[in-house]
Amino acid sequence: MLVGRLAPIGIGIAPRPHRPAAHLAVRAWAPFTPLPPPDSISRPALAFQVSRAMGSGSSTKAHSSTSWAPSATADAPRRISKSGYDITPLTAEQREAAAAGLTPHQRDVALASGTERAFTGKTVDGTPHDSKAKGLYVSAVGGLPLFSSDTKFDSGTGWPSFYTPVDPDHVIEVTDASIPFMVRTEVLDARSGAHLGHVFNDGPRPTGKRYCMNAAALRFIPAGADVPPESKPVSP
């Protein structure tokens, strides 16, 4: 009786086509889920997704198109930013000299486009990534002023975040397609070409930008502290 009742259920249902084992094996090797665009997920989720894409190591390399190039000679024509700072590209020798005091990790971030792990970063002077101290953030390579604590905000990503640089002339933005299906905009120091991080269009007012920086590529100068010559505007 049970067989008689069940038999009609299969009537009219086409048999499932046979798939060779080799075909199934190929499908088993392709469980790839692309990362969603940054604007479609929350900031903490973005931090997790990017960290996952970076792997379990401390950094990932950003293979990007770079519009920065070192000066051929030390007497190259001088470039001055709108706010009065020298943004002339360093020569290769000057860049190496400016990076002489960096640790291997800091060099990996600033000079090899690495990325520090979220929630672990410290500036080259030891300031935590989430510090709320007042002051100026300058490049760890060459000292060009980049960001002010006045424009820093808590993005929840685990990286120092700012909604604008101190002067747009002090940074260079280039396309970074190193993560599949997630084209980003890389941010470089205009003077040294050091890799700083990335900028996203999910920041607060008034700019709507989130400059997501690596603390290891920055040096913090507390408010009221002496500013080194390389971090001062040029004399008129």
Question: What residues act catalytically?
Answer: 212
Are 166 and 212 in contact by the 8 Å Cβ rule? The answer is: no
Are 64 and 46 in contact by the 8 Å Cβ rule? The answer is: no
CA distance 92 to 96: 6
Output the CA–CA distances (angstroms, integers) from residue 73 to 1, 46, 89, 96, in the order listed.
95, 42, 10, 14
Longest dimension (CA), the chain: 102
| Contacts of 108 by beta carbon, 8 Å cutoff, 6+ apart | 59, 114
Is 106 exposed, middle or buried, given 0-12, 13-18 or 19+ CB atoms closer than 10 A? buried
| Contacts of 64 by beta carbon, 8 Å cutoff, 6+ apart | 113, 174, 175, 176, 177, 178, 186
Is 19 exposed, middle or buried, given 0-12, 13-18 or 19+ CB atoms closer than 10 A? exposed
Residue 103: DSSP 8-state: -
For the four alpha carbons of 95, 97, 102 and 108, in that order, the dihedral sign comes to: positive
